[in-house]
Amino acid sequence: QARLVESGGGVVQSGRSLRLSCAASGFTLSTYTVYWVRQAPGKGLEWVTVMSYYGNKTYYADSVKGRFTISRDNSKNTLQMEMNSLRDEDTAVYYCARESTWGAFDMWGQGTKVTVSS
Amino acid sequence: QSVLTQPPSASGTPGQRVTISCSGSSSNVGSNNVNWYQQVPGTAPKLLIYWNSHRPSGVPDRFSGSKSGTSASLAISGLQSEDEADYYCAAWDDTLDGRVVFGGGTKVTVL
């Protein structure tokens, strides 16, 4: 059965770095546009970054631009997000999500929690 | 502050109909399809409605969506206890490269 599984979350000090991964199974990740979406405690959903299918375009939310980098390892069928210079406001559950041909997020991972402590 | 505006809460008794609104602008809801997601607390969001009014396989037909101009709405008919969750609308925004914008979410409580 097709699914996404995130990993790499944890507790990190402000200013440090963390790398999240999103492993896909049951389908080829590189044929989809994929997103990272986050949800701060008690808050709504916030788009963070996106990589188009085949990886030719990437975009970032202003709040993470210059600090976060999205990448894909096609050999491992995984998506990564390198997060540098972490701030308290980056504390959230991070989800990877697949964009369907309908232009909607038809598949989400279970999420990985990132806590930035100062 | 979210780009799309939703009421923070809605409620109803079992069997009632509940409607959630989602207000945007000409660059997002007005010119792009709206999708709706259901999030049960402690779990990942789940696609509920796509292309304004289409249900993915497995979503009960008591969930329906519509759109008119720069507003969209989600209706839950025959409310059930398992419908207690947060609901988010989302749309692409033509002014923001690659960006999807979300509503702030509506907490539905079954009384």
Q: Which long-range contacts (CB under 8 A, 24 or more apart) does A47-51 make?
A: A47/B99, A47/B100, A47/B101, A47/B102, A48/A81, A48/A94, A49/A81, A50/B98, A50/B99, A51/A79
Task: Quickly state the pLDDT bin for A39 (edges 50, 70, 90).
Answer: very high
At A106, list the tokens.
């038809």
Asked if A55 and B108 count as a contact pair (C-beta separation under 8 A), the reply is: no
How far is B23 from A73, CA to CA, in rounded Å?
A: 38
Q: What is the pLDDT of residues B66-109, one digit of tens each?
A: 999 999 999 999 999 999 999 999 999 998 876 899 999 999 99
**Mean of pLDDT values over A22-50:** 95
Chain A hits for B107, CB-CB cut-off 8 Å, are: none
Task: Check pLDDT > 90 for residue B21.
Answer: yes
Pairing of strands A112-117, A10-13: parallel
pLDDT at B2: 86
Local confidence band at A102 (pLDDT 50, 70, 90 cut-offs): confident
For chain B, percent of residues with pLDDT exceeding 90: 93
Please report the pLDDT score of residue B97 as a whole number.
75
Q: Which residues of B touch A47 (CB under 8 A)?
A: 99-102
pLDDT of residue A70: 96
Which of B33, B88, B92 is nearest residue A45 as measured by Cβ atoms? Answer: B88
Distance CA(B97)–CA(A62), nearest Å, equals 11
